[in-house]
Copies of this chain bind each other. A is one copy, B any other.
Amino acid sequence: MWPDRRFVELVSIDLPIIQAPMAGANDSAMVVQVCSAGGLGSLPCAMLDADKVRSEILNIRKRTNQPFNLNFFCHTPTETDRDREKAWKQKLAVYYEESGLDITAPVSAVNREPFNEEMCELIEEYRPEVISFHFGLPNKALFGRVRATGCKILSSATTVEEARYLEEQGCDAIIAQGNEAGGHRGMFLSDNIASQPGTFSLVPQVADAVSVPVIAAGGISDARGIAAAFALGASAVQIGTAYLFTPESLISDLHRAALNADGNDETMLTNVFSGKPARGLVNRVMREVGPMSELAPAFPTAGGALAPLKAQAEATGSADFSSLWSGQSAKLCNEMGARELTRRLGETAVTRLEFLS
A216-246 Cβ-contact flags toward B at 8 Å (1 or 0): 0011101011011111110000000000000
Interface string of A324-357 (1 = CB under 8 A from B): 0001110110000000000000000000111111
How far apart sit A356 and B230, CA to CA, in the bound complex (Å)? 7
Interface size class of A (residues with CB under 8 A): 35 or more
Q: Contact between A329 and B180 (Cβ–Cβ < 8 Å)?
A: no
- Among A83-91, A139-147, A189-197, A297-305, the stretch in contact with B: A189-197
Docked-complex contact B180 and A197, CB < 8 angstroms: yes
Of the listed stretches A23-31, A47-55, A260-268, chain B binds: A260-268
- Whether the pair B332, A160 counts as a contact (CB closer than 8 A) is no
Q: Are B227 and A200 in touch, CB under 8 angstroms?
A: no
Assess A224 versus B232: contact at CB under 8 Å? Given A197-B328, A266-B195: yes
Q: Which interface residue of A198, A229, A269 has the most chain B CB atoms within 10 A?
A: A198
* Cβ of A199 under 8 Å from chain B: yes
Contact B331–A205 (Cβ < 8 Å): yes
Chain A 154-204 residues near chain B, CB threshold 8 A: 160, 178-180, 192, 194-195, 197-202, 204
Q: Is A3 an interface residue (CB 8 A)?
A: yes
Q: Does A291 contact B (CB under 8 A)?
A: yes
Q: Does A35 contact B (CB under 8 A)?
A: no
Residue contact B197 to A225, C-beta cutoff 8 Å: no
Is A282 an interface residue, CB under 8 A from the partner?
A: yes
Q: Does A253 contact B (CB under 8 A)?
A: no
A294 touches B (CB below 8 Å): no
Q: Is A208 interfacial (CB-CB < 8 Å)?
A: yes
A194-B268, A195-B268, A269-B194 known; A200 vs B218 contact (CB < 8 Å): yes
